[in-house]
Amino acid sequence: MSGRSTVHVVGAGLAGLSAATRLAERGATVTLSEGAAQAGGRCRSYVDPQLGLTIDNGNHLVLSGNRAVMAYLKRLGAQDRLAGPATADLAFMDLRDGVRWRLRPNDGPLAWWVLAQGRRVPGTGPADYLPLATLLARHPGRRIDQVMQTSGVLWDRLLEPFFLAALNTEAVAGSADLAGAIVRETLAKGGQACRPRIAHPTLAAAFVEPALAYLEARNVPVSFGRRLRRLHVQDGRAHALEFSDGGVALSPGETVILAVPPWQAQDLIPGLQAPDEFRSIVNGHFALPASARKPATLITGLIGGTAEWLFVFEDRVSVTVSGADAIVDHNREDLAARLWSDVARVLDLGDRPLPAWQIVKERRATFAATPEQDAKRPGARTGLSNLLLAGDWTQTGLPATIEGALRSGETAAKAAGA
């Protein structure tokens, strides 16, 4: 694509970075503009003065079957930036009764692991897993609770926390289609697609810094603090971009990929239908060096507490609460104490006092993954011939995840000619 007209990517979150790096890989002429002072969007890392550590704004779990994640990291030469077990092996603890177990699906798609008591959820039998097959079919416009049973041990100890984390929406009200997409691409493919992975040591080191280095090496200009204020439209196409630092006229053949949050896209494109109901996430970060705790697995799913997922790093532990609307307005000190109580139980820390901490609240972390909101997601193409959309809120067929964001960037780049 060398020598072709410029593609202007607006927004340097993961969707924008995915689109820009894909375009650059194919030799397109690209510019990347971001309104914030840094790239990454909701997947960012920073030095927190309260902790004195570099932390991520939130914890993002990906799975080995996330093909767009793996392709993106391979493109950037950052395949080594994810950490996780060599096999599908995920630890859980039920905080209500102290029971611990490990979920260990076998690698292949023939799910013989449900026959092995030591590999499945305790208190479940092989027949309990059969209703999952229901989600392999499409269920347009239907909730999870309309297509499968949402009670029982398997639901409480695996499916409800799994779907809550994936959808960031109360599981029973979540879209059956979006839940089914997750099942088809992970559990249905066997353990080889279910190996848990987290960015290590930080999100920025895995997903953002390698992308910026990739673009720099290909002479792609990247501008920060450059907010798009207005799209000028004429004759069915965007013909100018009005940024905070000036305007850019678009010549015939130039394309714009708008990779911004849905509310910003709606401000820029009157009449655009997009998700307008959102769910929050609360993350707690606690300074805790390895020397001060007992060994623990990298990732642990928690049942029956406030925290839902525990992530262990070299210098800290972090926890995530998905669909956190019920607690997002709670006092930060109270939240820290409540989450630390869960951490201390999982890590067998006894009455160890609350260490240095930080609470990060994301009030509009993702769109609500309900059938109604899913139906409002637009595709990559718009009514303007040279304007494309990217973002995990566009119609990717997945909930608002890193995988969905990266796929949306790929789709937009392809539509732009890459």
Same domain membership, residue 218 and residue 185 = no
Rounded Cα–Cα distance for residues 19 and 231 (Å): 20
218-239 per-position pLDDT tens digit = 999 999 999 999 999 999 999 9
Same domain membership, residue 207 and residue 190 = no
Residues 6+ apart with CB under 8 A from 68: 18, 403, 406, 407, 410
Please indicate, yes or no, if residue 67 is contained in any of the structural domains: no
What is the percent of the chain where pLDDT is above 90? 94
Please indicate, yes or no, if residue 66 is contained in any of the structural domains: no
Same domain membership, residue 94 and residue 153 = yes
Which residue range is the domain that position 157 belongs to? Answer: 90-194
Same domain membership, residue 125 and residue 32 = no
Q: Determine contact, residues 291/41, Cβ cutoff 8 Å.
A: no
Please indicate, yes or no, if residue 287 is contained in any of the structural domains: no
Same domain membership, residue 388 and residue 240 = yes
Given this model, what pLDDT does residue 4 score? 65
Same domain membership, residue 131 and residue 22 = no
Please indicate, yes or no, if residue 309 is contained in any of the structural domains: no
385-401 per-position pLDDT tens digit = 999 999 999 999 999 99
Query: Per-residue confidence at 2, pLDDT binned at 50, 70, 90?
Result: very low
Which residue, 194, 213, 232, sits at the end of a domain? Answer: 194
Q: Determine contact, residues 19/12, Cβ cutoff 8 Å.
A: no
286-307 per-position pLDDT tens digit = 999 877 776 678 999 999 999 9
Residues 6+ apart with CB under 8 A from 296: 310, 312, 346, 347
Given this model, what pLDDT does residue 3 score? 46
Same domain membership, residue 146 and residue 11 = no
CB neighbourhood size of 206 (10 A): 30
Please indicate, yes or no, if residue 252 is contained in any of the structural domains: yes
Please indicate, yes or no, if residue 301 is contained in any of the structural domains: no
Which residue, 194, 213, 231, sits at the end of a domain? Answer: 194
Given this model, what pLDDT does residue 5 score? 83
Same domain membership, residue 225 and residue 181 = no
44-69 per-position pLDDT tens digit = 999 999 999 999 998 999 999 999 99
Q: Kindly report the average pLDDT of the chain as a whole number.
A: 96
Q: What is the CATH number of the domain that holds 378?
A: 3.50.50.60
Given this model, what pLDDT does residue 418 score? 67
322-347 per-position pLDDT tens digit = 999 999 999 999 999 999 999 999 99
257 has pLDDT over 90: yes
Candidates 273, 247, 268, 246; CA nearest to 257 is 268
Same domain membership, residue 180 and residue 111 = yes
Which residue, 194, 229, 253, sits at the end of a domain? Answer: 194
Same domain membership, residue 189 and residue 113 = yes
Rounded Cα–Cα distance for residues 142 and 176 (Å): 6
Please indicate, yes or no, if residue 409 is contained in any of the structural domains: yes
Same domain membership, residue 172 and residue 33 = no
Mean pLDDT of 128-141: 96
- Which residues, in sequence order, are bridge partners of residue 228? 243
Please indicate, yes or no, if residue 254 is contained in any of the structural domains: yes
Same domain membership, residue 120 and residue 173 = yes
Concatenating the DSSP letter of every residue in 43-92 gives: S-EEEETTTTEEEESS--EEETT-HHHHHHHHHHT-GGGEE--SSS-EEE
User: Into how many domains does the chain fold?
Assistant: 2
